[in-house]
Amino acid sequence: MLIRLVLLLSALLLAVSGLAYLFTRDLRYLTFISLIVRFLLFLLLVFAVLYALERFGLVAWRVFV
């Protein structure tokens, strides 16, 4: 649920920033888009590591089963 909300808000931010860049041709909107993309990649990496740790670490060792 949380990941979906973050992805939805990020997609809206990307769309609005892309439209703002198309209308104004101001480079700060492209900078903001790259910042959002880097944040999303970092966040997805964190969630992937947590998922892998839960899936293969805790379940495989039967810690929380």
Give the pLDDT confidence score for residue 60 in this predicted structure: 63
Closest CA to 50 of 40, 41, 58, 60: 58
Give the pLDDT confidence score for residue 37 in this predicted structure: 95
Amino acid at site 6: V
Mean pLDDT rounded to a whole number for the chain: 88
Look up residue 55 and give its DSSP letter: I
Q: How confident is the model at residue 54 (pLDDT cuts 50, 70, 90)?
A: confident
Give the pLDDT confidence score for residue 62 in this predicted structure: 66
pLDDT of 6 higher than 60 = yes
Question: Could you state, in order of their start, the residue ranges of all structural domains in the chain?
Answer: 2-58
Tens digits of residue pLDDT in 9-30: 999 999 999 999 999 999 999 9
